[in-house]
Amino acid sequence: MKQRRVVVTGLGVISPVGNDVATFWDSLVRGVSGIGPIDRFDASAYPTRIAAQVKDFNASDYVSRREARRMDRFVQYACAAARMALEDSRLVIDAGNAERVGVWVGSGIGGLETYEAQHQVLLTRGVGSVSPIFIPMLIANMASGQISILHGAKGPNGCTVTACATGTNSIGEAFRFIQRGEADVMLTGGAEASITPLGMAGFCAMRAMSTRNDEPTRASRPFDAQRDGFVMGEGAGVLVLEELEHARARGADIYAEVIGYGTTADAFHVVQPDPGGDGAARAFAAALSDAGLAPEDVDYINAHGTSTDLNDPMETRAIKRVFGEHARRLAISSTKGVTGHMLGAAGAVECMAAVLACRHDLVPPTVNYETPDPECDLDYVPNVARQMAVRVALSDSLGFGGHNAVLAVAKYRD
């Protein structure tokens, strides 16, 4: 049976560099950093005191105050991005189509802020004071649950939790639902809000984050030899995926087409990637095969590019292994230099960047790339955006636990 074609018809984003798609994209292209000192809590005792926080966000701009109080911050971000994406797509969900519209929005960690607050309530005020909606606020599937409730989407509903690969895996699974004919439309992506005392303490304990506290905008520097760790980010990205004929029938504006998805496991280590890049390479190859692409067909990769010593050389090796000589002709960039690492939301906002690169024939840069690393010797589009033809772009995400996921998107053509 011929697989159904899947296109992107709506985008919504809450990010450290903008709470609308136009501002987000402009920030990526101009390399405007969203990283600064943490002001949400007292971080003075932490080795890392910087993060890429969402700014100027008011949940009641998107949901009622009553609803907002019953949501963890990651769910608020997800609901805001979903509403934005639906409005962008001009899709109306009603009794006639509700059962064919699904939601698949993941979170790598879930309601950490709620967990910390309610644990403090338990310790200081006792068992009877813990909120009756503590668990519904905490669990990672509640972003999808609340989005479906708010908009009446009754199709496939759930979430993927694969750490930093969450957003990419979520979009890939939503893509499959539409390909298989189980839905006509999916709202999909990822959300995260882990810039909390415990979240930061945990990552600091791993010594995985940058300690360039005096130069926050220069702290995240993917593929650069002077990198010293990632910078925590937060936010949400939601895309509206739609079956092509369904989108055309209602006159939808089509951003790009999703054409392939690959996902693999390293089976190597809890937090360290396979240094040879085997799992990542197989995910790239699987996405190419699924899309029916040769390596030479790809113009741009929005890389995972975390600005860590373990990820960046490994990812470079994986790209070389799959793309061969074409690896040196590829434009590769990591937008984490601007957004920080948004964990479960990263893959969604980075897929969005790949979609917009195809739409505008414009590749956002890798900021703070100043000192070449001999182990990272490809074209990382350093510091300045590049106008070029982008017919096919890949976006890859690699998560703790050895989870690897790659999406292939293409400029839409009849």
pLDDT in tens, 96-134: 999 999 999 999 999 999 999 999 999 999 999 999 999
Percent of the chain with pLDDT over 70: 100
Q: CA separation (Å) from 108 to 16, 86, 347?
A: 18, 23, 11
Pair 253, 9: CB distance under 8 Å: yes
Q: Are strands 392-399 and 403-410 parallel, antiparallel or unpaired?
A: antiparallel
- The dihedrals phi and psi of 332, each to the nearest 5 degrees, come to -130, 130
What pLDDT, on the 0 to 100 scale, is given for residue 364?
Answer: 98
Domains 7-249 and 261-410 alike in fold:
yes
Confidence of residue 59 (pLDDT cuts 50, 70, 90): very high
> Region 204-224: what's the mean pLDDT?
97
Instruction: Judge contact between 232 and 16, C-beta under 8 A.
Output: no
How far apart are the C-alpha atoms of 25 and 356, rounded to whole Å?
8
Q: Euclidean distance between the first and final Cα of the chain, in Å? A: 20
* ∠ Cα 175 176 181 (to 5°): 105
The predicted structure's pLDDT at residue 333 = 98
208 DSSP assignment: -
Per-residue confidence (pLDDT) for residue 1, from 0 to 100: 56
Rounded CA-CA distance 308/304 in Å is 11
The C-alpha atoms of residue 411 and residue 267 are separated, in whole angstroms, by 34
pLDDT at 2: 72
Query: Per-residue pLDDT tens for 281-305?
Result: 999 999 999 999 999 999 999 999 9
Q: Where are the alpha helices (DSSP H) in 139-232?
A: 142-151, 166-179, 197-205
Whether the pLDDT of residue 201 is over 80: the answer is yes
Q: What is the pLDDT of residue 3?
A: 86
- List Cβ neighbours of 251 (8 Å cut-off, separation of 6 or more): none
* Cβ atoms of residues 365 and 33 within 8 Å: no
Query: What is the rounded (10 degree) CA torsion for 132, 138, 139, 145?
Result: 70
Residue percentage of the chain with pLDDT more than 90: 99
Going from the C-alpha of 214 to that of each of 137, 209, 303, 340, the distances in angstroms are 35, 14, 26, 16
Q: Rounded to the nearest 5°, which phi and psi values hold at 318?
A: -65, -40
Give the span between the Cα atoms of 112 and 75, in whole angstroms. 11
> Cα 167 from chain centroid?
5
Strand partners, 6: 243, 258
Catalytic residue list: 164, 304, 341
Domain map (residue ranges) of the chain: 7-249, 261-410
Could you say which architecture CATH assigns to the domain 261-410?
Answer: 3-Layer(aba) Sandwich (3.40)
Is 7-249 a CATH 3.40.47.10 domain?
yes
User: How far apart (Å, rounded) are the C-alpha atoms in residues 334 and 221?
Assistant: 9
Residues 319-338 have a mean pLDDT of 98
pLDDT at 414: 80
| Averaged pLDDT of the chain | 97
DSSP state of 305: -
The Cα 192–Cα 240 span in angstroms is 19
| pLDDT at res. 249 | 97
β-pairing, 185-192 vs 235-243, is antiparallel
Please state the rounded mean pLDDT for residues 217-231: 98
